[in-house]
């Protein structure tokens, strides 16, 4: 799956910003792909990019209508369907993050068929994966892992991609979740893959590459999360990371959605390296990324300094303080990947 870019962002008439969270994430990280937005009367979200009609979007080169919104009730309203069909007839592909499959809506399926357009259901990959092979493949790989779900794993690899490219490193973000797939135009929502193919899907997401190329692979869940540890382990084994960055949110007390206590950063590092050695004996931890938004700046800096001292690893909040320390460590540990 490769989603054709650039995008026309469809917001429908969502009642608030939160319903368009995926769309905002795409605009944040790929502004150059997001040529314009299409909103219906009553839409409460605004991506801050031009409102375009279909002819305007086509004239500007848009290739895909992106539905990066949540629809109430899980059913696609008729007035959205007619807009989507009009976009297909005008010549756009459609990529959707909705739970309902585009192809399950007859009017949309028929329009795509009749006009030779492609429908992408990001939550329901059609890719046929092989089971993971576990054999090493060329290229360097970095994986973000976490003390919990939703602690900044995607944000950290995206910030690293930007920071590493700015320093001349050859680095690509590799998506394993819905928003990430829109941002990279490729990948798979790993939590929607059939269980037997998790590690194989990650081998597909991050294929063999130039030996000094970095794949920056978005982590999911946590090896300590009782609901999702299996996904995290399959992802770890498929990713075969050379480098791991641990992501953490310091004010959380229980893991998301369950009653279990959070593991320590030390526990996450130890278990990740222990289990990761199965497919990459050279795996090592190279940094810590903290989502510090609940702390004031002095508290955040004190916490990061303490973590650096405790673990001997660079620690940062990528949003607040950038990723320079993380990139410095990668360049120091893998000097062959630094161009010069």
- Which chain residues interact with a second copy by CB under 8 A? 131-135, 190-196, 198-200, 224, 226-235, 237, 257-260, 275, 278-279
**Minimum CB–partner distance for residue 58 and a second copy (Å):** 36
**Minimum CB–partner distance for residue 199 and a second copy (Å):** 6
- Nearest residue (CB) to a second copy, 53 versus 254: 254
- 177 closest CA partner among 237, 100, 231: 231
- 35 closest CA partner among 53, 12, 15, 17: 53
Burial 151-167 (b: 16+ CB within 10 A, else e): bbbbbbbbbbbbbbeeb
**Minimum CB–partner distance for residue 257 and a second copy (Å):** 7
**Minimum CB–partner distance for residue 305 and a second copy (Å):** 31
**Minimum CB–partner distance for residue 240 and a second copy (Å):** 9
- Nearest residue (CB) to a second copy, 242 versus 317: 242
- Nearest residue (CB) to a second copy, 114 versus 278: 278
Q: Does a cis peptide bond (omega within 30 degrees of 0) precede residue 149?
A: no
Q: Which residues pair with 141 in a beta bridge?
A: 215
- Nearest residue (CB) to a second copy, 132 versus 325: 132
Give whole-number Cα distances, 74 to 16, 66, 99, 208, in Å. Answer: 16, 17, 7, 38
In what helix (H) or strand (E) does residue 105 lie, and over which residues does it extend? none
Per the listing, tokens 């009367």 go with 41
- Nearest residue (CB) to a second copy, 43 versus 188: 188
Backbone phi, psi, residue 319, to 5° = -70, -45
């Amino acid at each position: 799956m490769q989603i054709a870019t650039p995008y026309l962002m469809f917001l429908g008439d969502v009642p608030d910003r939160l319903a368009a969270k995926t769309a905002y994430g795409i605009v944040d990280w790929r502004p150059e792909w997001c040529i314009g937005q299409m909103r219906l009367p009553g839409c409460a979200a605004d991506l801050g990019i031009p409102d375009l009609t279909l002819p305007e979007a086509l004239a500007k080169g848009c290739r895909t209508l992106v539905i990066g919104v949540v629809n109430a009730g899980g059913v696609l309203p008729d007035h959205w369907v007619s807009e989507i069909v009009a976009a297909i007839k005008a010549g756009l592909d459609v990529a959707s993050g909705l739970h309902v499959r585009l192809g399950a809506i007859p009017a949309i399926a028929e329009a795509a068929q009749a006009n030779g357009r492609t429908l992408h259901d990001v939550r329901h990959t059609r890719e046929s994966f092989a089971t993971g092979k576990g054999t090493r493949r060329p290229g360097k790989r970095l994986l973000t892992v976490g003390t919990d779900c939703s602690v900044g794993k995607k944000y950290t690899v995206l910030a690293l991609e930007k920071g590493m490219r700015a320093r001349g490193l050859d680095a690509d973000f590799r998506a394993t979740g819905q928003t990430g797939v829109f941002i990279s135009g490729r990948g798979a929502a790993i939590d929607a893959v059939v269980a037997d193919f998790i590690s194989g899907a990650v081998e597909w997401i991050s294929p063999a590459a130039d030996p000094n190329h970095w794949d920056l692979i978005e982590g999911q869940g946590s090896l300590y999360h009782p609901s999702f540890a299996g996904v995290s382990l399959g992802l770890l084994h498929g990713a075969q990371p050379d480098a791991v960055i641990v992501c953490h949110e310091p004010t959380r007390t229980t893991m998301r959605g369950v009653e279990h206590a959070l593991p320590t950063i030390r526990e996450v590092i130890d278990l990740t390296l222990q289990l990761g050695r199965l497919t990459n004996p050279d795996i090592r931890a190279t940094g810590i990324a903290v989502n510090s938004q609940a702390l004031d700046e002095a508290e955040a800096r004190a916490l990061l300094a303490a973590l650096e001292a405790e673990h001997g690893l660079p620690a940062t909040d990528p949003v607040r303080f950038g990723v320079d320390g993380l990139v410095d460590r990668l360049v120091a540990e893998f000097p062959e990947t630094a161009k010069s």
